[in-house]
Structure 1
Amino acid sequence: MPTPLEIALERIEECRRTRSTELDLSCLGLDEIPEEVFELTWLEKLNVLEEWDTRDEYGEIKEIPLAIKKLKNLTEFNCATNQISDLSPLCGLPALQTLDCRYNQISRLTLNGLPALQFLFCTGNKISDLFPFSGLSTLQALDCGDNNICDLSPLSGLTTLQWLCFSHNHVSDLSPLSALFQLRLLDCSNTKISNLSPLSGLSALKSLDCSNNQINHLESIYNLVMSENLKYLKAYGNPVYGIPSWIFRNFWVADNLWDDDNCLENIRNYWQDLDKGSERQQQLKVQLVGNGRVGKTTLAYALEHKRTPSEQFKSTHGIVINEIQQTLDGEEKPVILQLWDFGGQEIYHTTHRLFLSDDCLYLLLWAEETEEHPDETRHPVSYWLELIHDLGNNSPVILVKNQIDRADRLPTRPAGLSDDMPGVQQIRQEVKISAMQYRGMPALRGAIESVLEELKQKICLELPTSWLQVQRELKQLDQKSIPLPHFKQLCIKAGISHAEWLANYLHKTGALFYSEGTFQDQIILDQNWAINAVYRVFDPNKPHRRRIERMGGRFIGEDASLLWADAEAKEQEVYVDFMRNCGICYETKQLQNLLDNKPFAEREFIIPALLPLISKAKTAWGNSRPDDWQLDIEYPFLHRSIIERMILRIGETYEGEPWRTGIFCETDEGQLLLECEYANKQQSTQGRLHFQLRSSQPERLVYALRKLVRQTSPHRRYQEYLSKAGAERTLLPEFKDEAMQHPSKLDASKPADKTIKLFISYSHADEAHKERLEKHLKAINRTLPLTAWSDRHLFAGEPVDEQIFQQLNTADIVLLLVSPDFINSDYCFTKEMERALERYQDEGNVVIPVIIRHTASWRNHKIGQIVALPKDGKPLAKWDDADEFWGSVEEGIRDQVKKRLQA
């Protein structure tokens, strides 16, 4: 096997032979740059980047030879992720435009004699002084994040700067940036900034990330935010006064831990409605969690009624929601506390995870003695603290020892809770009570009031009057659910133009339940009604659960009439839709059912929580074979929800055989068997996902599974090991999501959520036709998952070619809007179309010419060999009715979307 140097010398010789202007020696493991490189005096691009090991081990290159000065034509040099400390050998390179020296050992940048330098990336070094930057008058982009920088003053004169990132530094003052009027992108996240007013005059700004700082007010950038110029804003992680924390999250995207947080639309809608009138409101979600039969429902009653209940409550099945009021010093109005009482039985824990949230108060109940029940597991307090930490690590916890009338021998805090355990640092107060006897309740109320004081800035909110008007009218309706059009009418009446957005906001804050395009476009107002209906399936005292368990955790749509006999057929579909959207169940062959318009009554659903404990497939797998591979994901805290989501995602992607703790399936890459195992479930929550693979292409399946684990896990506190049967396990480095690497059905998204990407290539002279087309694409999106992209999505100042070709290279369908102007456009015809056709030849996409205007020569080119839309390539002008033309185009595109989904 050749050494890194031998590989490098081979590439150098190839470059010498072809006189290529680019030389890539990246990720070879070199310990120095070979001297032969500097004989290639015609080089324009040189790359010696090394791969960054997740154990913080960089490459071995420690210096840049002085001989690099021979490369007078060098325009790009990448030496990232090595151990270089001195860049002075680069001084005097007259053509150097781009320098990437990220993650090295540089404490001072020597940048003399670089008159052409435009792009500098020096993240992850030891730089503290930016003075050497002050003379870089041609600099357009600078990334100096993750250094030791405190002062931005040397940048004040860089008036050509368009792109600036200095995140993860010690900067507290943005004043030096106030005159950088060409700045398009700014990332000042994770610093010590508290004042954004210096940015108020930067009208060219397109993207701003000021997350995780000390900002209390955003009013100084009001005009910037409300202008149409700004396209991206990330501002979460700041103690902003008066604005609901959910405003700083992008709640249009799916519930995924790693989703983007562009809050621009949210803050615009908030301020737009706030300008019409506002009211101060004080509210907080309080969530009662703990084992079953520990007295959560009794405590909720005592808090609401301020007295002991007259009788004992039955064990809660599901979730119960109530509201109470709590006074707060200095405030005229009381705080509205929304109490969520969660059933403690283990079968509900996975589903509860969907409603447990951040930015709330947790009352964690435990007791020395409770009524014993054979079907219930008594989890330690540490189990619940870990769950809270994973799902709401910003939320305070009051530890409540209940039922002291039964036993009170132990301390309020259970033994074994150390400060380094997840969630322990979130405990603010510890109290002991007997909710049944109303003992200790004043102490608990005092503890709650103390936490409310701590959260005062989060719970005392300034909300638009129009939002509160809609919420009040919804309460007055006293209905379980309403159609979305009805909700829109209420919004119009209140002067709100973004009804779907408001519905999403109210959903995320827990006021109602809404998911766009589901529940037959119903908005669920009475969440107790929906939750209780769904949890009826799990009630051990009902025959429905036993029936589903006898069916192997499966039921069909027709069974809904038995599960909810008192509900109408449409309502029954809403319940199942609710379950599917919450991840309680999944539909087998969902995509095919969608394409075939299969009736609801005939569709099959699987509930992972009710699957059988054993499986014939697991037995049939047998012992390991020599070519088998094992992928182990080991968790210090393996929650049941992770297991069920893995079964759900794999099960709805492939036809397989699931059971309570695993699944077997045939994939495109081979056979897969997943088993979920605990070290000792009675004593620990430590466990692992054990994947066994029989595949001729294991790397593709391993990549897809690791990506799925990353998407599914609420934290990254796990380790991954890979081994071949009988061999020693290898600890894998942290997973890196490489776009388009090892694509599989599991990669990117579940089939039900798979979205077809469509790219529109067109001449700007045909803008009106493109806009009409987009209306029809939206119509397709009503029933099929489709997103469309055109160059109008670009931010000013972004690298045009890079962004366009990134979209083009990942598109499933490329539409070419053919017209004389399209043919005459060098960019459309020679760049976009040629790249699209290259991928088309490799079966990477579908290319569809759409003949919008008479174009005599289009059949003489390569696209003339492809079936065009509309039928026979008849242009719009030759149709009697424009609606018929666009309807024909829409149907043709819809057919291709269905084919791509099936593929």
Structure 2
Amino acid sequence: MERAELLALLERAKAEGWTELDLAGLDLVELPPEIGELTQLQVLILGKWDEETEKWKGNQLTTLPPEIGQLQNLTNLDLSYNQISELPAAISQLKNLTLLDLRDNQLSELPTAIGELESLTTLHLGNNQISGLPAAIAQLQNLTTLSLCENQLWELPAAIAQLQNLAELDLRENQLRGLPAAIAQLQNLTSLDLSGNQISELPVVIAQLQNLTSLDLGNNQISELPAVIAQLQNLAELDLRDNQLRELPAATSELKSLTTLYLGDNQISELPVAIAQLQNLTLLDLGDNQLRELPTAIAQLQNLTMLNLSYNQLRELSAAIAQLQNLTDLDLRDNHLSELPASIRELPNLEHLDLSGNPLPIPPEILCRQEQLSENLWGLYYESQTILDFYFNSQRDPKPLYEAKLLIIGEDSAGKTSLVRKLEDETCQLEPQEESTEGIDLLPWEISHLDGTPMRVNIWDFGGQEIYHATHQFFLTKRSLHLLVADDHKENTDFYYWLNIAQAFGDNSPLLIIKNEKQDRQCQPDDRTLRGEFSNLKESLSLNLETNRGLDTIRAKIQQYLSSLDHAQQIIPAHWANIRTVIENYSQSRNILELGDYFDLCWKNGFSTEADMLAASQFLHDLGICLHFQNVPSLKRFLILRPEWATVSLYKILDNQEVKANFGRFNDDTLEQLWDESNELQTRNALLQLMKEFALCYEIPDCKGRYIAPQLLEKERLDYDWDNTDNLILSYRYQFKPKAIFPQLIVALHEQIEQIEETFRVWKHGMVVTNGSARAEIIEDDRYSEANITIRVSGSNKRQLLTIVGHELDKINRSYDRLTYEVLIP
């Protein structure tokens, strides 16, 4: 905020008698002396936690003016997330101050004047550089909450023991090696956080803190607890994560009020029978230990709702687990469980069950699925009923499914389609000039699994032209085998690009490089270096399609890697096999299936829950049988039964010469003309929605029925005036940037693209957007060595527009797994 704007705001606050003033996130470098005139202020906010963006909003203040002392009515002063290195002596004049928040600054010490704030009840000093406290802090006799987390305290000063009313003390993330005996004087302490220090033992005086309800000792070096800890009879929460405990201290069994016990990341190999005495326990965390079995005594914890046993060495699950009738969450991931007891189905309240990382015959789509947690946030969701139904149904009536997906990628004219033809029939005669694949071709292929069973392979042959790269993220699915075909007589194969693409979207699915030799000349990528950087790259193989040299080896390798895929012999319940057949039959006569109709088919074929139905459609999506984009709300409502029909339909628009000549502009008439294959309006709407969600096009604002495909925009940068005064600049530098990111950003911001008469200031690698008071120029530099997106903003209220653009780009970046980039401020 400019100084003139700030002064005008202060003047208005003074005239209208404001009692609260929020100046957080305005990029202030100083407060003017006029702040002292707002004597009516009770709350002054110069930094705060923003719940909406989940980020701190601060300023760039390094000092406070002495006039701050004139705010005699101030009760709350929030200075968090600034760059303040010292407090003025005038701070002592704020006699009515009850809350002072100084977290995330540059303080190395506190002035003795702090002791004069006798009304203070809450003091936040976290994330500074404080190594000691002044003795004057003992004068803050009304203090109930003191946070000193993330500082550089080596010891706790004795003066702190005089804060007799202190109820909450946060000392996490310091360098404390122990506690002074004087800690026992804090008789009103209810919460003590000592996590992230270097404490190896607790003093026995800890037992005198009789009102303590929460004690956090996580991430220290504690190998045992003193027996006197049993005297903390009011303790409800005890955190001992990430220490050096080899056994559960016997004294903990006497903590009758304990409801929450964290013991994760220790070296515990067995649990004592006495654990059954903790009858009020609702949460027990034993993750990342060395447990080989559970004692039956654990079944006596009747109030337990959450039990974490992940990352242990359990080989079986005791049937006694069924006695935990109130259990809602059970985490068993990364153990050695190969079967489940039938009694696990007797847990009536179990909602979330995590079994991932165990040798159980359950596909990932069942073990966990993505659930929308908020408008823009997705997380993993583990639904116990679906998991258990699948497991026990497949045990009762198993159907082996020998099926896999083979994805063939590479530059245009590299020989991908020729390779597919040779894999199907090595005697076929290739045309001198193969037609380029438009979009994606899908072909069925049958090979033998290594155990001799016939295996169906769904081949996806991707077009190599850049226009087709935009949909890679939606079709390069996990649990597949990738073949990267490279033309030997051209040096245009960007191995790093393709390997990054496969790794980012394929969830570490295995990949083979196929070097297509032409005219007996070989291309020689640096295999050793590439394998060192890409764990999914397995081998690099040579092939001559004219003589078939190397074809048998490649076919054998494909058979080997497809057979070794986790799901290649997947055991599925009979009703899953049935719906897979039904879906394939339906695809002979229709292209899409409404979600409600799909559910009806599932009900008729033995499914009992919608969660089970969605898990099945995700499984079929990953196999390439159909497409169901469950994570996209507007696309979740239908299944695309024929993926090749969808891709061909999309690229009928993008490959159309008239659309290309108009630099990506088209309208509803174009859609009706090119999608006239007896498609109903509902089907055309589904295809259009697919294009919008894939960022293949957007509808021009205020021009209903007119669209722009950003990949086909003019390459030349447009001319426009720009004010270089006081620009805010932000640069995103990528180690690897998928080609679809910038078109996605254009689509995300299309409603704010600057328009002058009939001209929109947008081109293939850049755009200008505006919110009326500020303008942002966004430029993509797409050279591999400099994969950057740079944003610069001019005008007033720059920060707001920069935040909007950055938020949209961050959201797109988060949608890509394993994407590495840094945000730079020049």
TM-score by length of 1: 0.68
For the residue of structure 2 that corresponds to 1:708, the secondary structure is helix
Partner of 1:209: 331
CA RMSD, aligned part only?
3.6
Partners of 1:149 and 1:34 lie apart in 2 by: 34
Partners of 1:718 and 1:537 lie apart in 2 by: 33
Partner of 1:764: none
For the residue of structure 2 that corresponds to 1:112, the secondary structure is helix
Partner of 2:411: 291
For the residue of structure 2 that corresponds to 1:353, the secondary structure is helix
Partner of 1:348: 468
1:302 Cα shift?
2.0
1:4 Cα shift?
5.1
- Given that 1:71 and 1:93 are in contact with CA atoms closer than 8 Å, whether structure 2 keeps it comes out as yes
Partners of 1:121 and 1:305 lie apart in 2 by: 64
CA gap 1:713/1:518 in 2 versus in 1, 3 angstroms: closer
Bigger radius of gyration among the two: 2
After the TM superposition, which residues 153-172 of structure 1 pair with which residues of structure 2 at under 5 Å, given as runs? 153=272, 156-157=275-276, 159-160=278-279, 161-172=281-292
1:532 Cα shift?
0.7
1:665 corresponds to which of 769, 773, 776: 769
2:166 corresponds to which of 43, 50, 53: 43
After the TM superposition, which residues 338-417 of structure 1 pair with which residues of structure 2 at under 5 Å, given as runs? 338-370=458-490, 378-402=492-516, 404-409=517-522, 414-415=525-526, 417=528
After the TM superposition, which residues 234-273 of structure 1 pair with which residues of structure 2 at under 5 Å, given as runs? 234-241=354-361, 243-253=362-372, 259-264=379-384, 266-268=386-388, 270-271=390-391
After the TM superposition, which residues 179-194 of structure 1 pair with which residues of structure 2 at under 5 Å, given as runs? 179=299, 180-194=301-315
Partner of 2:721: 620
1:319 Cα shift?
0.9
2:180 corresponds to which of 52, 62, 65: 65
CA gap 1:191/1:669 in 2 versus in 1, 3 angstroms: farther
| Structure 1 residues 325-359: Cα deviation after superposition (integer angstroms, max 9, x where no partner) | 2212435x312111111111222122122110111
After the TM superposition, which residues 475-486 of structure 1 pair with which residues of structure 2 at under 5 Å, given as runs? 475-477=584-586, 478-484=588-594, 485-486=596-597
After the TM superposition, which residues 181-580 of structure 1 pair with which residues of structure 2 at under 5 Å, given as runs? 181-197=302-318, 199-217=321-339, 219-220=340-341, 222-225=342-345, 227-241=347-361, 243-253=362-372, 259-264=379-384, 266-268=386-388, 270-271=390-391, 274=394, 277-312=397-432, 313-331=434-452, 333-370=453-490, 378-402=492-516, 404-409=517-522, 414-415=525-526, 417-418=528-529, 421-423=532-534, 425-455=535-565, 457-477=566-586, 478-484=588-594, 485-498=596-609, 501=614, 502-515=616-629, 518=634, 522-539=638-655, 542-549=656-663, 553-568=664-679, 570=681, 571-580=683-692
1:321 Cα shift?
1.1
CA gap 1:633/1:212 in 2 versus in 1, 3 angstroms: farther
Partners of 1:518 and 1:174 lie apart in 2 by: 45
> Which region of structure 1 is more displaced relative to structure 2, 86-95 or 154-163?
154-163
1:528 Cα shift?
0.7
- Given that 1:235 and 1:263 are in contact with CA atoms closer than 8 Å, whether structure 2 keeps it comes out as no
Partners of 1:582 and 1:223 lie apart in 2 by: 45
**Letter paired with 1:611:** L
> Which region of structure 1 is more displaced relative to structure 2, 27-36 or 163-172?
27-36
Partners of 1:431 and 1:348 lie apart in 2 by: 25
1:284 Cα shift?
1.0
1:96 paired to 2:212: yes
Give the helix-richer structure, 1 or 2.
Answer: 1
Partners of 1:644 and 1:676 lie apart in 2 by: 10
- Given that 2:753 and 2:767 are in contact with CA atoms closer than 8 Å, whether structure 1 keeps it comes out as no
**Letter paired with 1:691:** I
1:206 Cα shift?
0.7
Relative contact order (alpha carbons < 8 A, sep ≥ 6): 1 or 2 greater? 1
Identity of aligned residues (%): 24
CA gap 1:30/1:503 in 2 versus in 1, 3 angstroms: same
What is the number of residues matched between the two proteins? Answer: 678
Partner of 2:817: 714
> Which region of structure 1 is more displaced relative to structure 2, 266-275 or 483-492?
266-275
1:701 Cα shift?
5.2
Partner of 2:732: 633
CA gap 1:308/1:145 in 2 versus in 1, 3 angstroms: farther
Partners of 1:188 and 1:652 lie apart in 2 by: 49
1:98 Cα shift?
0.4
After the TM superposition, which residues 620-699 of structure 1 pair with which residues of structure 2 at under 5 Å, given as runs? 620-623=721-724, 625-626=725-726, 628-651=727-750, 657-667=761-771, 671-678=775-782, 680-681=783-784, 684=785, 686-694=786-794, 695=797, 697=799
Partners of 1:256 and 1:340 lie apart in 2 by: 30
1:360 Cα shift?
1.1
1:520 Cα shift?
11
Partner of 1:140: 259
- Given that 2:626 and 2:640 are in contact with CA atoms closer than 8 Å, whether structure 1 keeps it comes out as yes
CA gap 1:225/1:68 in 2 versus in 1, 3 angstroms: same
Partners of 2:270 and 2:772 lie apart in 1 by: 54
1:710 Cα shift?
5.2
1:118 corresponds to which of 226, 236, 242: 236
**Letter paired with 1:167:** G
After the TM superposition, which residues 694-773 of structure 1 pair with which residues of structure 2 at under 5 Å, given as runs? 694=794, 695=797, 697=799, 704=807, 707-708=810-811, 711-723=814-826
1:80 corresponds to which of 184, 191, 195: 195
1:159 Cα shift?
3.2
- Given that 1:120 and 1:142 are in contact with CA atoms closer than 8 Å, whether structure 2 keeps it comes out as yes
1:153 Cα shift?
4.5
Partners of 2:277 and 2:778 lie apart in 1 by: 56
1:525 Cα shift?
1.2
Partner of 2:713: 611
| Structure 1 residues 795-838: Cα deviation after superposition (integer angstroms, max 9, x where no partner) | xxxxxxxxxxxxxxxxxxxxxxxxxxxxxxxxxxxxxxxxxxxx
- Given that 2:292 and 2:312 are in contact with CA atoms closer than 8 Å, whether structure 1 keeps it comes out as yes
Structure 2's unaligned 5+ residue stretches are 1-85, 88-106, 122-138, 756-760
For the residue of structure 2 that corresponds to 1:513, the secondary structure is coil
- Given that 1:558 and 1:602 are in contact with CA atoms closer than 8 Å, whether structure 2 keeps it comes out as no
1:446 Cα shift?
1.5
CA gap 1:445/1:649 in 2 versus in 1, 3 angstroms: same
Partners of 1:62 and 1:369 lie apart in 2 by: 65
> Which region of structure 1 is more displaced relative to structure 2, 245-254 or 268-277?
268-277
| Structure 1 residues 639-679: Cα deviation after superposition (integer angstroms, max 9, x where no partner) | 2133333333344688785432344323599543332224x
- Given that 2:440 and 2:647 are in contact with CA atoms closer than 8 Å, whether structure 1 keeps it comes out as yes
| Structure 1 residues 553-581: Cα deviation after superposition (integer angstroms, max 9, x where no partner) | 34343431244344545133222112123
1:369 Cα shift?
1.4
Partners of 1:25 and 1:226 lie apart in 2 by: 47
For the residue of structure 1 that corresponds to 2:533, the secondary structure is coil
- Given that 1:167 and 1:188 are in contact with CA atoms closer than 8 Å, whether structure 2 keeps it comes out as yes
Partners of 1:559 and 1:85 lie apart in 2 by: 73
CA gap 1:696/1:256 in 2 versus in 1, 3 angstroms: closer
1:121 Cα shift?
2.2
CA gap 1:192/1:327 in 2 versus in 1, 3 angstroms: same
TM-score by length of 2: 0.73
Partners of 2:604 and 2:176 lie apart in 1 by: 67
Structure 1's unaligned 5+ residue stretches are 50-57, 371-376, 594-600, 724-903
CA gap 1:259/1:405 in 2 versus in 1, 3 angstroms: same
1:407 Cα shift?
2.8
1:584 paired to 2:684: no
Partners of 2:335 and 2:751 lie apart in 1 by: 41
- Given that 2:406 and 2:482 are in contact with CA atoms closer than 8 Å, whether structure 1 keeps it comes out as yes
